[in-house]
Amino acid sequence: MFPPFDPDRDERKRRPNVFARGQVPVRVLIPNIFTLVGLCAGLTAIRMGIEHRWDLAVAALVFAAFLDGIDGRVARLLKASSRFGAELDSLADFVNFGVAPAIIMFNWALDDLKSLGWIAVLVFAVCSALRLARFNVSLDATDAPAWKSNYFVGVPAPAGALILLLPIYAEDLGLHVPTLTPLVLFYTLGIALLMVSRVPTFSGKLIGQKIAREYVLPVFVLAALFMALLLTYPSLTLALGSLAYLAAIPVSAYRYLAEERKAAKAAKAQSAKSSAAEGHAQRPEDPVIRPSFRAKP
């Protein structure tokens, strides 16, 4: 009823349908369903923030971050990655981790500062959009070395959203942070700048791809323990996790610089070795000195 239309594509060069008879396998829809459910969770977090129901707002945002962490892996596992899914995921991330935490923080404390508080959350949302746009562009770069896959450039949007709510976790633990509203404003601006900065942060993409057989059960136990702590003591768990992430940023920057120096040193050594080998191959052979036998006069 509604055929797709692409004005940039010549109708005479229409590509054939990727799937037989124009049907899309269900496995292709599953990752997008995860993304849409995460988007609904982010929108729910916005509503809970407007209604000043902070616990539910934080829970909805954490649930959205959890779904954002698994939808890409589900797509790769099912071999259902698509450009449509990538664009949908980016748009959902902006709503979930740019708009939702900004509205929550404004309604929680920054509305006391009126326009200044609104400017702070606007800066956070804009930095989140810029961070996501830069990440999408970096996906097209294929010439980066493998070790750089273990690092993000700047704080990713989901992590930025969760650590932005650190004052709310602290207030729930008994620390009355709303009396320190100016500090919350500067903290919001600081997290926004970290998202668009060039500071390398751990991504964990190269960690845990393969583990030894004897570590399988301990990993399951740790995952169950973390979920139990998160469900039983959510504020304490999120607060400690946020502080640990902030403390790990200098460590990740140091490790990145160390690996960059190591890679540059290895590349320089390899270049010198190649130059030496090439020079040896192009050097002419030493002339052979033959004795001359001339008759005596």
If one counts every other C-beta atom within 10 angstroms of the C-beta of residue 58, the result is 23
The pLDDT, as a whole number, for residue 75 is 82
Poorest-pLDDT segment among 106-115, 159-168, 242-251, 261-270: 261-270
Given 1.10.3470, 3.90.550, 1.20.120, 1.20.1440, which CATH number is that of 23-138+145-208+226-264? 1.20.120
Q: So where are the chain's domains?
A: 23-138+145-208+226-264
User: pLDDT at position 21, please?
Assistant: 60
How confident is the model at residue 63, as a pLDDT?
Answer: 94
Percent of the chain predicted with pLDDT > 70: 78
Residue 23: its H or E element: none
Q: Averaged over 134-163, what is the pLDDT?
A: 81
User: Measured between alpha carbons, how far is 9 from 231 in angstroms, rounded to an integer?
Assistant: 50
Q: How confident is the model over 154-183, as a mean pLDDT?
A: 87
At 68, list the tokens: 């954002």
- Verdict on whether the full-model pTM lies above 0.85: no
- The pLDDT value recorded for residue 22 is 63
pLDDT at 2 over 90: no
Nearest-angstrom CA–CA distance, 221 and 202: 23
Alpha-helical runs (H) found in the chain: 26-50, 54-77, 83-94, 100-108, 115-138, 157-164, 166-172, 181-196, 216-232, 234-282
- Under the banding of pLDDT at 50, 70 and 90, the label for residue 8 is very low
Contact criterion met (CB below 8 Å) for 60 and 41: yes
56 by Cβ neighbours in 10 Å (0-12 / 13-18 / 19+) ranks as middle
Q: What's the pLDDT at 125?
A: 95
Residue 57: which residues within 8 A CB-CB, separation 6 or more? 45, 46, 48, 49, 100, 104
Mean pLDDT, range 66-71, rounded to an integer: 88
> What band does 10 get if pLDDT is binned at 50, 70 and 90?
very low
For the segment 180-234, what is each residue's pLDDT rounded down to a tens digit?
888 999 999 999 999 999 998 888 665 555 677 777 788 888 889 988 998 899 9
For the ranges 40-54, 153-167, 177-191, the lowest mean pLDDT is seen at 177-191
Lowest mean pLDDT among 38-42, 147-151, 186-190: 147-151
The encoded tokens of residue 198 equal: 């060039």
Lowest mean pLDDT among 108-112, 195-199, 283-287: 283-287
**Rounded average pLDDT over 231-254:** 92
Ranges 34-43, 46-55, 63-72: which has the least confidence: 63-72
